[in-house]
Structure 1
Amino acid sequence: MTWPRALPWIALLLVAGLVLGDVRPPGGWPGWLGGGDPALRPGGSTAAQVERVVDGDTIAVRVGDERERVRYIGVDTPETVKPDAPVECWGPAASALNKRLVRDGEQVTLRFDRELRDRYGRLLAYVYRGRDRLFVNARLVRDGAARTLSISPNTAHAGELARLQADARAAGRGMWGAC
């Protein structure tokens, strides 16, 4: 049988393997194919443990047995660790605030919007602190450590974050008074 004529049979065997057994590629299916952790789905949420704060708007977490980088949805803090970019005004303060809000080892809840990952493969999430349900993304904006960054389709909290930014800017909090 020639290669083009074998393709339908290969596809049939693959489908049969999926239906009859637990056949999956090494490392599991990519999220966009519906595989992986069932909690990691658009509109879902999952518990995670903070491993470390990367910068003002990114954390490294453990979700079950997996390690993930999480980029906060709806906010952008001044840069501190971007390769080939200078440290920006208020960047170190934003990172320090994020480290106070979510400490290493702390439990958090990650809530997902409509798009699960960015182009760098990071999870996109609204982050809530486990001990008191503090909405971390919102606190960063409220305290002037982050500006809003609304990227469709992940806009569930865009209005709330915009109001918090307007208040922080008007009060001269954080970067709005320093930069």
Structure 2
Amino acid sequence: MKRLLVLTLLLTGCGGGVRNAARVERVVDGDTIVVRVDGRSERVRYIGVDTPESVKPGVRVQCFAKSAAKENAKLVLGRDVRLEYDAEARDRYGRLLAYVWRGDLLVNAELVRLGYGKPLEIAPNLAHAAELRQLAAAAKRDHRGLWSRC
């Protein structure tokens, strides 16, 4: 029983979902990346953050979208990351849903903290929702990122 508990804690990262190591192959936009995980390429949609649209068909490029994509690339492109899953593994488009960690940095939270995106709460994937709301409130208060221009 003790071994099972230790294994569970190791797999879940002590409170989050199972984590997979991945390498970022491409940045699609501010909240979507393509990673190499388990020997295959997977599109990953960040959980809990919504950045302005820059590549959505039928939607013109929104204010601060290119800046968000550029910052996302600066944070993760070509780097090793860990994917932390929440209650749902995939969205209706087949993308993996994940919190993306670069070392000890939660990239989803960093994008919100810097003002490149807003919190997006979609139940049941809410593990970091409270943290993201607090970071967004501070970014808005301090006029960071999109809160300064859009």
Q: State the TM bucket, normalised to the shorter chain.
A: 0.7 to 0.9
**Alpha-carbon shift at residue 66 of structure 1 (Å):** 1.3
State whether structure 2 residue 81 is matched by structure 1 residue 108.
yes
Which ranges in structure 1 are unaligned for 5 or more consecutive residues? 1-38
Which of 159, 162, 175 matches 2:130? Answer: 159
Match of 1:82 among 44, 56, 61: 56
1:125 to 92, 98, 104: 98
Spell out the pairing of 1:30-109 with structure 2 (5 A cutoff): 43-104=17-78, 106-109=79-82
Letter in 1 for 2:60: P
- Cα deviation, 1:149-172, whole Å, max 9, x if unaligned, reads 000000000000000000000000
Aligned amino acid, residue 36 of structure 2: R
Over alpha carbons, which structure has the higher Rg? 1
Aligned to 1:145: 116
**Paired amino acid for 1:175:** L
Q: Residues of 2 paired with 1:175 and 1:162: CA distance?
A: 15
Q: Distance in 1 between matches of 2:134 and 2:67?
A: 22
Paired residues, number: 136
CA distance in 1, matches of 2:66, 2:113: 17
Deviation sequence 1:121-141 (CA, Å, 0-9, x none)? 000000001xx3211000000
Q: Letter of the aligned partner of 1:140 in structure 2?
A: L
The letter for the 2-side match of 1:119 is: R
Q: Per the alignment, in what secondary structure is the counterpart of residue 81 of structure 2? A: strand
With normalisation by structure 2, the TM-score equals 0.88
**One-letter amino acid of the structure 2 residue matched with residue 111 of structure 1:** E
Q: CA deviation at 1:84?
A: 1.1
TM-score, scaled relative to structure 1: 0.74
Choose between structure 1 and 2 for higher RCO, CA contacts under 8 A separated by at least 6 residues: 2
